[in-house]
Amino acid sequence: MSQEPGLSNLMHEERRFDPPPELAAEANLTVEAYEEAAADRLAFWAKQAERLSWAEPFTDVLDWSDPPFAKWYVGGRLNAAYNCVDRHVEAGRGDKVAYHWVGEPADDTRTITYADLQREVNKASNALVELGVQTGDRVAIYMPMIPETVIAMLACARLGAPHTVVFGGFSADALATRIKDCAARIVITSDGGYRRGSASALKPAVDDAVARCPDVRNVLVVRRTGQDVAWGEKDVWWHEVVDGQSEDHTPEMFDSEHPLYVMYTSGTTGNPKGVLHTTGGYLTGVTYTFWGIFDNKPDTDVYWCSADIGWVTGHSYVVYGPLANGATSVMYEGTPDTPHKGRWWEIIQDYDVTAFYTAPTAIRTCMKWGNQIPAEFDLSSLRLLGSVGESINPEAYVWYRENIGAGTCPVVDTWWQTETGAIMISPLPGVTSGKPGSAMTPIPGISADVVDDTGTPVGKGEGGYLVVTEPWPAMLRTIWGDDQRYKDTYWSRFEGKYFAGDGAKKDDDGDIWLLGRVDDVMNISGHRLSTTEIESALVSHPKVAEAAVVGATDDTTGQAVVAFVILRESAGDGGPDVVQELRDHVAGEIGKIARPRSIMVVPELPKTRSGKIMRRLLRDVAENRDVGDVTTLADSTIMDQIKDGMSTTSED
């Protein structure tokens, strides 16, 4: 087999940030963990499982006799909701705050202790039983960011009824597809939620979806906004069936491999996949990583992850990871710019948040708005920052560290996926000297590598494909109802290895840099260029806040780089020469080969509803094709705006 060259390694970054000494001195996860896990990986994972309460101990850590179908913690029995809630109350921590919930309207807040959570989850569990929910039944949840969403998830987990949470911004179509795909019989929703200063309806989309899903028996509706809703015979109010229930419910213990939930991927690359996570391994993975990567000290920390619960980040790091650790979290209903662009920073100030976890897209948006906004707030409670969802451009990382983290907070750039369930590659906040833009190394217990086309690990300074080389507890077990797609998508590209679909490189120290989707790789005059480094070069220009690059067919070079950029507000319209300036900047930063053939200044980029850039749509624009499937796009008018402006700014 002829060996294609790996991905080009274009950028070199010299900046390093050591962990603050106080954090390092008290860090939960220390450098010894790497050695311990390397010496005996399964013993390491057995030890991590001790963070949970098991009703029945497991007999084997891993059964990998039928790859790629893994069984973790074989024979163990546990209940996920008991682990997240009851055991903390039993240990005398019932008065501890689980969530400081902040609604979008001013002064609309709720404080929910672990004891409150236990009462509410028990009542909701009893209500679901009354509605006929049995162990193994699927329940769809389509909700805003309100406490009942967490309560509903935990009630399902308590009953062993796998939930599938569908992001509240999705259309009726997307909801119906997901309800059908996993044959949910109950849908939990609300009348609406607050977004951008007004009540936005959810129930009409459910009505529309349920009309197409005759097998749905009931729709359980939380009253959040009080807006008018149409009412059908399947509909029941949450307050009518939940509020009067008994506050007691005895949890059943389930097999470690009992399904916990099905989560559909973001759909960045196309058709979303229904990823199945099970109980013992998943909960071990999120409990360990939340403790270790966010260095959580439950007695003193206030943690906030801004992700919506409709995404895997919300599942693992708003719900299961924090709760299993008995942590105190902030949960916020609304958007970062309502009623003003400093709302997030105000919440951090008001609740003395110590650790904040968000996505690069949000950081770049704040960068676009300008430094003066966070500067108005006291963010001195923060001691750790995190990022997930895309590669964080070095410039955005440094901006985040300086403007939010006072130049002292470590930034953990965490690489993981819906499929991996928990963080896989990340710096350790008390150990690693961070490099802006690098996710650094696999965390203790995880084995990952960068390989070439033949599956051979690449050398230092070379690029290729990211793979996970050993099974891990929080790994997906299959794609719901489609074992073959599970094998084909993840386990067929490289023998015995999990293929993540992402490009990556190892730098001269062997640290890992994520380079973007393999599907987005460009071939320019025989050089294989990934998207991330060119985008980061653009973002390193002081006028640029965000950038997306794609490869478009080109007569002379095979493909040519086409870039789309959003300018910082401080740059105004960028001036008459901005396009040429940016092309030269890229050439200067990483070489002529990467110089974009054309650059278009745009007001927004097409993003999924979880905020990831959808480059496949931009490729359609760059190649003058009709734009493909836009159902997972957050704002469908953006593609029209981009197409309309396209002809005026190309430079050849």
Binding mask 299-318 for ligand ATP (x = CB under 6 A): -------------x------
In the complex with Mg ion, the residue whose CB is nearer, 270 or 603, is 270
Sign of the Cα torsion 183, 187, 193, 199 reads: positive
Instruction: Quote the least distance from Cβ 547 to Mg ion, whole Å.
Output: 21
Which of 113, 329, 365, 417 is in the footprint of ligand ATP by CB under 6 A?
A: 417
Which of 418, 530, 531, 540 is in the footprint of ligand ATP by CB under 6 A?
A: 418
Cβ atoms within 10 Å of 211's Cβ, excluding its own: 12
The DSSP bridge partners found for residue 478 are: 276
| Contact (Cβ atoms closer than 8 angstroms) between residue 125 and residue 111 | no
Binds 599: which of Mg ion, ligand ATP, none (CB < 5-8 Å by kind): none
Residues 260-279 touching Mg ion, rule: CB under 5 A, are 265
Counting Cα atoms < 13 Å in the Cβ hemisphere of 303 gives 28
Residues 464-503 touching ligand ATP, rule: CB under 6 A, are 500-502
Q: Is 276 in the site for ligand ATP (CB under 6 A)?
A: no
Alpha-carbon distances, residue 66 vs 63, 206, 257, 262 (angstroms): 8, 39, 15, 22
Sign of the Cα torsion 345, 351, 357, 359 reads: negative
Q: From CA 435, how far away is CA 411, in angstroms rounded?
A: 9
Q: In this structure, what token pair is assigned to residue 102?
A: 């902040």
In the complex with ligand ATP, the residue whose CB is nearer, 281 or 389, is 389
Query: Which residue stretch of 63-71, 219-227, 258-266, 287-295 sits at the interface with Mg ion (rule: CB under 5 A)?
Result: 258-266
Which of 272, 285, 374, 471 is in the footprint of ligand ATP by CB under 6 A?
A: 272
Binds 517: which of Mg ion, ligand ATP, none (CB < 5-8 Å by kind): ligand ATP
Binds 439: which of ligand ATP, Mg ion, none (CB < 5-8 Å by kind): ligand ATP
> Which strands, in side-by-side order, build the sheet including 186-190?
235-237, 218-222, 186-190, 139-142, 163-165, 259-264, 274-278, 478-479
Binding mask 428-467 for ligand ATP (x = CB under 6 A): -----------x----------------------------
Query: Which DSSP string corresponds to 548-560?
Result: EEEEEEETTTEEE
Counting Cα atoms < 13 Å in the Cβ hemisphere of 593 gives 17
Instruction: Quote the least distance from Cβ 267 to ligand ATP, whole Å.
Output: 4
Pairing type for strands 163-165 and 139-142 reads parallel
Q: Is 120 in the site for ligand ATP (CB under 6 A)?
A: no
Instruction: Quote the least distance from Cβ 276 to Mg ion, whole Å.
Output: 15
Query: Which residue stretch of 176-184, 302-310, 412-420, 474-482 sits at the interface with ligand ATP (rule: CB under 6 A)?
Result: 412-420
Binds 500: which of Mg ion, ligand ATP, none (CB < 5-8 Å by kind): ligand ATP
Q: Is 166 in the site for ligand ATP (CB under 6 A)?
A: no
Cβ atoms within 10 Å of 608's Cβ, excluding its own: 21
Query: Which residue stretch of 10-18, 244-252, 329-337, 387-395 sits at the interface with ligand ATP (rule: CB under 6 A)?
Result: 387-395
Binds 137: which of Mg ion, ligand ATP, none (CB < 5-8 Å by kind): none
Q: From CA 383, how far away is CA 354, in angstroms rounded?
A: 5
| Contact (Cβ atoms closer than 8 angstroms) between residue 418 and residue 263 | yes
In the complex, which residue's CB is closest to Mg ion?
Answer: 265
| Contact (Cβ atoms closer than 8 angstroms) between residue 540 and residue 534 | no
Q: From CA 426, how far away is CA 165, in angstroms rounded?
A: 26
Q: Is 289 in the site for ligand ATP (CB under 6 A)?
A: no
Q: Is 269 in the site for ligand ATP (CB under 6 A)?
A: yes
Task: Assign 311 to helix, strand or coil.
Answer: coil
Dihedral Cα 34, 39, 44, 47, nearest 10 deg? -110
Residues 236-265 touching ligand ATP, rule: CB under 6 A, are 265
Binds 162: which of ligand ATP, Mg ion, none (CB < 5-8 Å by kind): none
Question: Which residues form the interface with Mg ion (CB under 5 A)?
Answer: 265
Question: Which residues form the interface with ligand ATP (CB under 6 A)?
Answer: 265-269, 272-273, 312, 388-391, 413-415, 417-418, 439, 500-502, 514, 517, 610, 612
